[in-house]
Amino acid sequence: MARARSNGSDPGRQSRRGCVSASSDPMFVANSVGTEAVATEALLRSTLDSLSAHVAVLDATGTIIAVNQAWRSFAIQSGYVGEDDGVGTNYLDVCERGAPFSSDAAATAKALREIIAGRRRDFRMEYPCTGPDGPRWFQLRITRPDQQEMPRIVIAHEDITEVKRVQEELAHLTARLMQLQDEERRSIARELHDTTAQNLLAVTLNVTRLRERLRTASPASDRILTETLALAEQSLQEVRTLSYLLHPPLLDVVGLGSALRWLGEGFSERSGIAVDTVVGEGVETLSRDAATALFRVAQECLANVHRHARSSWARIALHRLSDGIRLEVSDGGCGFNARSLNTGVEPVHQTGVGVSGMRVRLEQLRGSLQIDSGPAGTRVTATVPLTQ
Ligand SMILES: Nc1ncnc2c1ncn2[C@@H]1O[C@H](COP(=O)(O)OP(=O)(O)O)[C@@H](O)[C@H]1O
Ligand SMILES: [Mg+2]
């Protein structure tokens, strides 16, 4: 990123290490005739110097007229050789010179031009930078304080390396959790299918046989057994649907489009909800992680249709966009208030883990999730970019 590290200097400006280098600027000395003004100036200096952010104040042309202690220290550590701490350098020029080589510098130059022209009030950007002690992350903020008579622009570079490190750790942890969740689901699905469903099947067969024997002997027992049989059959159906929803197919082998068709057909057979699956052209270019995430989103959506929507139909649509892939799962059910789920303001304990899990999966891939719901039904739209 373009930090004003060039040797641009203003011969008329005196450098004074250890305090804000701006004593000749009217902003700082306009009222210095009075003691109050001197005290105000000293307070302003010490306030700026106490900030951990590297701060520079620019005039209306983009020239640096003051820097704080943190800016100065960083410049020295980074090998800046001038005596002026960068004061007198035109920051906009520095960014413009860097623009052909760095998109960050280009974005900063553009924003600074707009702020100088009064077409924009502020700008914020995170960027990586190699400092004296290795790679670091900074957040740049450019603001234009409300000051008609003496326009000034404040540049602040805040070191956010630690925040980025924690974010990265969190992302790794979340990815690991998602992977463990997939493994756990797979083993629960296997257990449900191979053991619970088999046992329930045996129960229904036994009850059927028992009912045959008692049918004439005891009408009251027959009624109880008929009810028991109905419950056991219903439970068997539920367990099969659940194990089907939890079990992921071999996405690597069949591709996302076929896997979604397989999911739709199987879900429809087991739940009795009609599912229409539409797969567009050019959707098989996704990474394995992205395909798995979209498949899990579709599974979770169908599970929600089954559990909450009370809809007789569902529709899965997968389409390619110019820069990504979009999955839509819709139903014609009762709908719900999706606003709090979209903004994520609802406390986690008040919602299920389904929607938040979908969102986390997509955020991992820099994708997004949108839920539209009303009395005519619900539509969940998941989008992932093609650039990962
Ligand atoms: N298709 C849908 N139709 C109606 N309500 C839905 C639908 N999908 C989600 N919901 C509502 O959103 C809530 C949160 O969903 P989710 O996070 O998957 O949790 P869970 O399914 O475990 O309750 C559900 O409890 C339900 O009230
Ligand atoms: Mg759910």
Residues 169 and 216 in one domain: yes
**Residue finishing a domain among 134, 159, 184:** 159
Give the Cα-Cα-Cα angle 243, 246, 249 (nearest 5 degrees). Answer: 100
From residue 240, give the alpha-carbon distance in Å to each of 226, 245, 305: 21, 9, 16
One domain for residues 337 and 232? no
Atom 25 (ligand 1) nearest CA: 352
CA angle 58, 95, 112 (to 5 degrees): 50
The residue whose two tokens read 């955020």 is 363
Q: What is the spatial distance between Cα 51 and Cα 42, in angstroms, rounded to a whole number?
A: 15
Could you say which ligand is closest to the alpha carbon of residue 357? 1
Q: Of the candidates 271, 246, 269, which has an alpha carbon nearest to the alpha carbon of residue 182?
A: 246
Count how many domains the chain has: 3
Beta carbon of 283 within 6 Å of any ligand 1 atom:
no
Quote the ligand 2 centre to 284 CA distance (angstroms): 26
330 close to ligand 1 (CB < 6 Angstrom)? no
267: CA distance to ligand 1 center in Å? 17
Which residues, 6 or more positions from 207, have their beta carbon under 8 angstroms from its beta carbon? Answer: 225, 228, 229, 232
> Would residue 4 count as lying in a domain?
no
Does the reported pTM lie above 0.75? no
The neighbourhood of ligand 2, an ion, using CB within 5 A, equals: 304, 352, 354
Range of the domain at 193: 161-247
Output the tens digit of pLDDT for each of the chain's 388 residues. 445 443 333 333 333 333 344 444 444 444 445 678 788 888 888 888 999 999 999 999 999 999 999 999 888 887 776 777 788 999 999 999 999 999 999 999 999 999 999 899 999 999 998 877 788 899 999 999 887 677 899 999 999 999 999 988 988 888 788 878 878 887 888 888 888 989 999 999 999 998 888 878 888 888 899 999 999 999 998 888 888 777 766 676 788 999 999 889 988 988 899 999 999 998 888 888 888 889 989 989 999 999 999 999 999 999 999 999 999 999 999 999 887 666 655 444 445 578 888 888 898 889 999 999 999 999 999 999 987 5
d(CA 307, CA 273): 11
String of b and e for 217-229 (b: at least 16 CB within 10 Å)?
Answer: eeeeebeebeebb
Q: Does residue 355 have its Cβ closer than 6 Å to ligand 1?
A: yes
The full length of the chain comes to: 388
Residue whose Cα lies nearest atom 20 of ligand 1: it is: 352
Last residue of a domain, one of 232, 247, 262: 247
Q: Are residues 212 and 336 in the same domain?
A: no
Element (DSSP H or E) covering residue 302: helix 288-304
